[in-house]
Structure 1
Amino acid sequence: MVAEQPQLISFSGTCLMHRADIKRLSGAWQDAIDKAQQAVERLTQSNNRKDTAGAWYQLAEVHRLRGDFDAAEQAYRSASQYGFEPQPGLALLRLAERHVGTAAAAIRRVMAATTDQVKRIRLLSAHVEIMLAAGDIEEARRACHELADIAEMYGTEPLRALASHARGAVELADGEAQAAAIWLRRAIEAWQQVDAPYEAARVGVIMGLACRALGDNDGAVLELQVARTVFQQLGATPDVSRIDTLLDTRPDEARGLSARELQVLRRIASGKTNKEIANELHLSGKTVDRHVSNIFNKLDVPTRTAATAWAYEHRLV
């Protein structure tokens, strides 16, 4: 009986770890934290290193989503100390901290080193998100296609939701807002079917941006406000802040510019060259050239000087 006790403790700890993951997905974040902390205690006691690391990772994920970045970093490091690869969570933490180059280097490194298809599943959606933030649409699209192939193979609703989300985000970044809206709506409906409010709200933010790009400003505001309500209820502080910023940028003043194009425009107005903008935003020179061309077309201006004047006139800088 004594010999069996550590096994019982380990089993109950593993169950708690998986329950923490389910609670996080369903939006019960405080319950997820409680379950993950209990799992860490029991699994540490039973010397189950693998699942102890997994419990630390689950704890880190909820802290990251809530904006408690210091606690998240400590938990990711604890997972690493137990032999667990803390990606993609740690890379997403760096992205949330606006260290785009660091996040991109980390996710590229772990993607190159991971050949097992099941392990790649949990990396691919983060890979797409980080590559889009880094301005590498082509690499994001390749990851998107791989995720779609896996979703087709396994056929589960969460995987289909991830694949649709990724496809919608890539299409929007590539200027195909109408196509993006179709994929994003599929993703929202899929996440709602599996009762994953945070994931559905994240897609809703991108849907809002797609609506804005299509000139549907009322639809954009509605999508963003619905997502904000969910984030507020969950305690997703970074996401609430992001939506507040998006809602503060009035669509009629932004003239259909994307968030990235606004970043580039503000740097043009400050006198930076395309090369300097590329270095500052961790983008390729080709990507910045494309953004500048899009800005000129959308604003109907011929030069950087005219774009700068427009930005000041509309109080975007």
Structure 2
Amino acid sequence: MQKIENWTRTYTQLYKADREHTLEPKELETYALAAYLIGRDAESFKILDRAHQGYLNRKKTEQAVRCAFWLGLMFINTGEMARGSGWIARGERLIKDGKGADCAEKGLLLLPAALGTLSAGHAAKARTLFEQAVTIGEQFGDVDLIALGRLGNGQALIQLGDVAKGIKLLDETMVAVETEEVFPIACGVIYCAVIETCRKVWDLGRAQEWTSALTRWCDAQPDIIPFRGQCLVRRAEIIQFHGEWHKALEEIGSACKLLTRPPGEPAAGEAFYCKAELFRLLGNFEGAEDCYREASKWGRNPQPGLALLRLAQGQVDAAETAIRNTLKETKDNRKRAELLPAAVRIMIAVKRNEEALDATKELDNIVAEFDAPYLYAMSSHCRGAVFLTEGSVQLALDHLQKALKIWNTLHLPYESAHTKELIGLVYSKMDDKDNSDLALAAAKWVYEQLKARPDLQRINRLLNQQRNHEAFGLTLRELQVLRRVASGKTNKSVAGDLFISERTVDRHVSNIFNKLGVSSRVEATTFALRNKILDNAL
């Protein structure tokens, strides 16, 4: 990796030198790179164009082609596809006009075609092109070409279903980035692509590890602008998973600002989606809706987050329609795996249990394909939720406990709390009050720490409902009267304790007898102790 750390100083020095004398093409390349890395994109493109022309004037075709390749890649990375394609085509023409001489640049020019083929879903064909690029890179000892080729090869293998082999190649690519002098733009591209790919296959451990490496790389070059936004997005996701939501919100806010600087980067869509998810979980529904809208403007589908927002807002019909339509439009298994847990939750809410079960079965099949702990846990959680709804409490408990074990291993507090909440409901249906109370209290505590307001409101409603059910319909005042009656106090004494009239106590005692189906103070006391309803009295 290049050792230059202060790109602003490099840019300033070459800026001054460029006004004092004509820079050599190699110097112009460094000048262009420094300009690009400190966020002066338009200026960088012009300088690299000058380097390209300088090499052509000196009959150094291969170096000119390499400049054309990087110009094409940088334009494509900023979303200017036509200009990027034009520079790649220029490089290909120069190679062809040069009688097709063997060189590393021929391999570089294979990469855009391979990426396009991979994006179109033709992974096997793309892999052939990436392998050709790696072979050429090895022939000429070109570390940039080898690293980028292996990156693409790993992504193609994952798309073909060989996740383990693909991840192994990505790991090898990352080692090369950290130990060899890979071109800085290639480094940034590889970091971001590997992290995104790990995230797509739910390998959260690797995503976290390489995000930390990307952070160190950016921190070593504090004035670098490209890739820092993507870095912040991934960091925010990892921080969110591990429960520091407000810190994640700060990170993602910075990412949104960086990625929307004119002309803006496509990764802004992912940043706004992440911000919307955090707002939704924290209960800022208005902010969430605005951010989902922004995510959509930048090309990021706002589902399943928007459907879950509608569910949280009580708009169940809108939630059901949105998740149904999105599933119909989505064919890729990786993307469907992101949608199906939300579909299960929404279908249970609208009492479409059969469809919730179908979604769970489909998720099970996808889990087998990707073999990721996160997905195993999510599948078990969804199974448990469906079985709970159907009343199969033992099956529900088995699946939920399996999910909880994985969540705890992965250190994912929110997912753990959500599963504990369902476990609490299962125990409640099994009339196991102690275990139910423990599970629900644990879930509530996590929600409180996270400041997950919608979840906290839901579990508080649930706890209140349970208290009312456990009290057999007795009001709080009736519970207070019953506690004192059970302790042997007379109605007159109870009236004095509670600062109410004796006649009012008489009425409360009569109501208590009717609700509990008893006819004496002794029977009421026995019933209360046996059913533990005095725990709710003050």
TM range (shorter): 0.7 to 0.9
Q: Which among 369, 375, 384 is matched to residue 153 of structure 1? A: 369
Corresponding residue for 1:115?
331
Q: Does 1:208 align with 2:241?
A: no
| Structure number with bigger Rg | 2
* Cα distance in structure 2, aligned partners of 1:2 and 1:26: 36
The Cα offsets for residues 203-255 of structure 1, whole Å up to 9 and x where unpaired, read as: 11111111111111221111110000000011001111111111112368379
Answer yes or no: is the 8 Å Cα contact 1:9–1:46 preserved in 2: no
- Structure 1: which amino acid aligns with 2:252? A
- Structure 2: which amino acid aligns with 1:226? A
Change (3 A) 1:48 1:161: farther
Give the TM-score, by structure 1 length: 0.77
Correspondence 1:174-213 to 2 at 5 A:
174-213=390-429
Q: Does 1:2 align with 2:35?
A: yes
1:49 positional shift: 3.6
- Structure 2: which amino acid aligns with 1:130? I
1:48 positional shift: 4.5
* Cα distance in structure 2, aligned partners of 1:181 and 1:47: 52
Q: Does 1:83 align with 2:116?
A: no
- Structure 2: which amino acid aligns with 1:207? I
Q: Which has the higher contact order (CA 8 A, sep 6+)?
A: 1
Q: Does 1:34 align with 2:250?
A: yes
1:126 positional shift: 0.5
Q: Does 1:20 align with 2:236?
A: yes
* Cα distance in structure 2, aligned partners of 1:115 and 1:14: 26
1:92 positional shift: 0.3
1:68 positional shift: 0.8
- Structure 2: which amino acid aligns with 1:188? L
* Cα distance in structure 1, aligned partners of 2:338 and 2:266: 17
Corresponding residue for 1:290?
none
Answer yes or no: is the 8 Å Cα contact 1:165–1:183 preserved in 2: yes
Correspondence 1:1-317 to 2 at 5 A:
1-6=34-39, 8-45=224-261, 47-250=263-466, 253=469
Secondary structure, counterpart of 1:85 in structure 2: coil
Answer yes or no: is the 8 Å Cα contact 2:281–2:452 preserved in 1: yes
Corresponding residue for 2:136?
none
1:143 positional shift: 0.9
Answer yes or no: is the 8 Å Cα contact 1:29–1:234 preserved in 2: yes
* Cα distance in structure 1, aligned partners of 2:452 and 2:312: 12
* Cα distance in structure 2, aligned partners of 1:225 and 1:194: 21
The Cα offsets for residues 268-308 of structure 1, whole Å up to 9 and x where unpaired, read as: xxxxxxxxxxxxxxxxxxxxxxxxxxxxxxxxxxxxxxxxx
- Structure 1: which amino acid aligns with 2:35? V
Answer yes or no: is the 8 Å Cα contact 2:37–2:226 preserved in 1: no
* Cα distance in structure 1, aligned partners of 2:470 and 2:345: 23
What percent of counterpart residues are identical? 39
- Structure 1: which amino acid aligns with 2:459? I
Give the TM-score, by structure 2 length: 0.46
TM superposition outliers: structure 1 runs of 4+ over 4 Å: none
How many residue pairs match? The answer is: 256
The Cα offsets for residues 99-158 of structure 1, whole Å up to 9 and x where unpaired, read as: 111100000000000001111111111011011101111111111011111112211111
The Cα offsets for residues 25-63 of structure 1, whole Å up to 9 and x where unpaired, read as: 100101110111111111112645421010000001011
* Cα distance in structure 2, aligned partners of 1:47 and 1:158: 36
* Cα distance in structure 2, aligned partners of 1:172 and 1:203: 12
1:10 positional shift: 3.0
Answer yes or no: is the 8 Å Cα contact 2:380–2:399 preserved in 1: yes
Secondary structure, counterpart of 1:166 in structure 2: helix
Corresponding residue for 2:90?
none
Secondary structure, counterpart of 1:249 in structure 2: helix
What root-mean-square deviation, in Å, do the aligned CA atoms of Structure 1 and Structure 2 show? 1.7
Secondary structure, counterpart of 1:45 in structure 2: coil
* Cα distance in structure 2, aligned partners of 1:112 and 1:161: 25
Structure 1 unpaired stretches of 5+? 256-317
